[in-house]
A and B are shown apart, each in its own frame.
Chain A
Amino acid sequence: MQESKKYKIILFILLLVVVLTAFLNLSSGSVYIPFDEVLAALFGGNVSNDNWAYIVREYRLPKVFTAILTGSGLAVSGLLMQTLFRNPLAGPYVLGLSSGASLGVALIIMGASLFGGAWAYILLSKWSIVIASSIGSLLVLLAVLLASAKLRDTMAILIIGLMFASLTAAVVSVLAYFSPASQLQQYIFWSFGSLGNLSWEEVSILSMFWFTGIILAVTCIKNLNTLLLGEQYARSLGVKIGSNRFMIILATSLLAGSITAFAGPIAFVGLAVPHLIRQVIPVNDHRILLPAVIMGGAILMLVCDIAAQMPGTEYTLPINAITSLIGAPVVIWLLVRKRKFLF
């Protein structure tokens, strides 16, 4: 049909933009590296400066992969949450994943000082923060699901997630109150999010979670489409509401939980990309939406990272600030222009 061909072309264009933005990202940074040198470093040619080869291969390239994984993963999580809860304001963190992560990391960074005296100011390894974040996410997620298990209404989970977010924020603020400045700073820096800090080993672990989450999300596509009619109709069409909900929540947890553990809580991308994509490709079919959102998320993250690198200067900005600064006005502008909330 004409329609599906049009969509295939759009998806192909999106893929091209992902590749282009990736190369643009690889060429920009605090140190100016000419584009031909970037290519040489990537594909094994002669690079005039040893440092440049290292920067491109061991710093910028893992960062590009991290940006693609985090951007697409969060965007898919956002899409899943928005369809499951039929709420345009839902994002990957409505189930409490990021509040749980914050609690876990706050406990391990600032809690040590509460209980351990001067000895507690040991340096925390990267892995302890990753593990603390994952455990925190998992525990709060379980708490939210347990609390809403008795309730048949899917919407109730949203409210309970919000309540747990307030709870954990309160605990974190108590920890912060008693924490000395250096630990507080460490925590705040974690909360800014960071893409450029992952080793290849960490990138590969993140990719494993990403693949699993994406594959789960793909298997949910058919049910997601059916859910567009509402839960009652979906049930009459053979959708097992309970297990479907479980799969969607599992996929979201794997994606958003692992991303937050490795890159910190990155705001806005999960919420905004599905809407941005819907403005560009006004479809409801998740067979098209899912791949479009994957690529849209990757593009947005890559662009935000380029901006955060402040190319040409010696400074960089935290990624969270950029995602909100760029993303929010764009969504507002698109909505005002079209004057209709497509959902």
Chain B
Amino acid sequence: MLKYLFLILPVLISCKSETKSSSEILIPGDTLSVNYAKGFTIVQYKDFKILKVNDPWPGSSRSFTYLLYEEDAGIPEDIEYDHKIRIPVSRIVLTSTTYIPSLESLNETNTLVGFPGLDFISSAATRNRINQNKITEIGSNDALNTELLISLKPEVVIGFAINNSNKTFNTIEKSGIPVMYNGDWTEETPLGKAEWIKYFGALFNKSDEAEKLFNEVASGYNEAREIAATATNIPTVLSGSMYKDQWYVPYGNSWSGLFIEDANANYIYKKTRGSGSRALAFETVLSEAENADFWISPGQFKSFNQLNESSLHYSRFKAVKERKVYTYSNTFGETGGVLYYELAPNRPDLVLKDLISIFHPGLLPQHELVFFKPLE
């Protein structure tokens, strides 16, 4: 007789849980608009959001689901997620300077408690906090000091990965601190990268504000693009630099390549497709790009002296002869961090306006160069 009891019991119990969960799942969520970024989606429920990150690194076989819940939120029981994080977050650790501008625009710089490589940060508001010793140095990005990080007791760590093996992150997660992947670096369009402010908006429960901020940037960008389209003269542009006798140029469909196109200029290698940089022999680039009108992003050179000292071959290029070379390497923060690396992904509108001012002088008379300055 007892054995029949054992048969009935599981059935009774499962029936009970089924009824409970099905009622919750029946409420649909609002998918927040994400128009340019391909790497993440956010679905808003009554008092929690599901943030899904697809392809945080190229070739990743899975996506990551993060459940961001408000206090006292009712969470259905059979939702699958990688991490559950209470929002708004008040103690956060970031691992890339590209996340800093999002925190600043959302007025959440006070939540940053730790960062690897504090010297790289340029933004004034954050540097202020650093000078007051409110942000802990946690090593270099390739070798995070896990002990320091864990002792900071952050609520979440935002990290990026380039491949499948992330032992440091696994160690942090085992200690109970969730690590969320951020794939903004994989985005290939200017507005796509900038839209990741909404990722942070969700973390601080400020999705509306994030949307507003992004829309300003997007409309600024699109307006500038339309103005550029009115230009009559379309200059040719070269980008990249040599190491020894090999040129490394960005691909035509890369993030930096698209800026040039949107600024209505002719990038010499715009037809190339791929990710990363393309290596080319010196002879080839000399033949094809010798007469480019402008040369932007010439690697790490900070002056023409450095350029010529590195190689006399550069002086064969028209852009060097006419001194029409523009670089972002000379714009840096108090401790040497390059501003472009930190702010450009978040403010593509400023980047585009810089380039338009350079390629089509006079089209944007009010704009002052933010990132790109002429090489001296």
A–B contact with Cβ pairs below 8 Å: the answer is: yes
Residues of A that sit less than 8 Å from B by CB: 29-31, 51, 54-55, 58-59, 63, 117-119, 121-123, 125-127, 177-181, 186, 189, 194, 196-197, 199, 309-310, 314-316
CB distance from A200 to the nearest CB of B (A): 9
Binds A, one of B168-176, B229-237, B282-290: B282-290
Q: From A118, A180, A194, A196, give the contact of B337 (CB < 8 A).
A: A118
Contact check, B310 vs A118: say whether CB atoms are below 8 A apart.
no
**Residue in A177, A179, A197 whose Cβ sees the most chain B Cβ within 10 Å:** A197
Specify the chain B residue showing the minimal Cβ separation from A60: B283
A197–B282 alpha-carbon span in the complex (Å): 10
- In the complex, are the beta carbons of A30 and B244 less than 8 A apart? no
Q: Which residue of A lies closest to B278 (CB)?
A: A314
Interface size bucket, B side?
35 or more
* Interface membership of B301, Cβ < 8 A: yes
User: How far apart are the CA atoms of A294 and B150 in the complex, in Å?
Assistant: 61
CA distance A231 to B286 in the complex (A): 56
Docked-complex contact A58 and B140, CB < 8 angstroms: no
Contact indicator A189/B243 (Cβ below 8 Å):
yes
Least distance between B359 CB and chain A CB atoms (Å): 25
Find B143's partner among A59, A127, A178, A196 (CB 8 Å cutoff).
A178
- Which chain A residue shows the least CB distance to B335? A118
What total count of A-B pairs have CB within 8 Å? 91
Which of A118, A197, A199 is the one whose CB lies under 8 Å from B119?
A118
A314 touches B281 (CB 8 A): yes
A29:B281 contact, CB within 8 angstroms: yes
22 example contacts (A-B, Cβ-Cβ < 8 A) are as follows A29-B281, A30-B283, A31-B283, A51-B286, A51-B287, A51-B290, A117-B336, A118-B119, A118-B120, A118-B336, A121-B300, A121-B336, A122-B300, A122-B302, A123-B299, A178-B140, A194-B244, A197-B245, A199-B311, A199-B312, A314-B280, A316-B279
Closest to B301 in A: A123
Q: How far is the CB of B38 from chain A (nearest CB, A)?
A: 24
- Choose among B141, B243, B281, B337 the residue that contacts A30 (Cβ–Cβ < 8 A): B281
B284, B312, B313: the one within 8 Å of A31 (CB): B284
Known pairs A123-B300, A177-B143, A194-B245; A315 contacts B280 (CB<8 A): yes
A51 CB contacts on chain B under 8 angstroms: 286-287, 290, 316
- The answer to whether B90 has its CB under 8 Å from any CB of chain A is no
User: In whole angstroms, how far apart are the Cα atoms of A122 and B300 in the complex?
Assistant: 7
Question: Is B71 located at the chain interface by the 8 A CB criterion?
Answer: no
The answer to whether B281 and A123 touch across the interface, beta carbons within 8 angstroms, is: no
B246 at the interface (CB under 8 A from A): yes
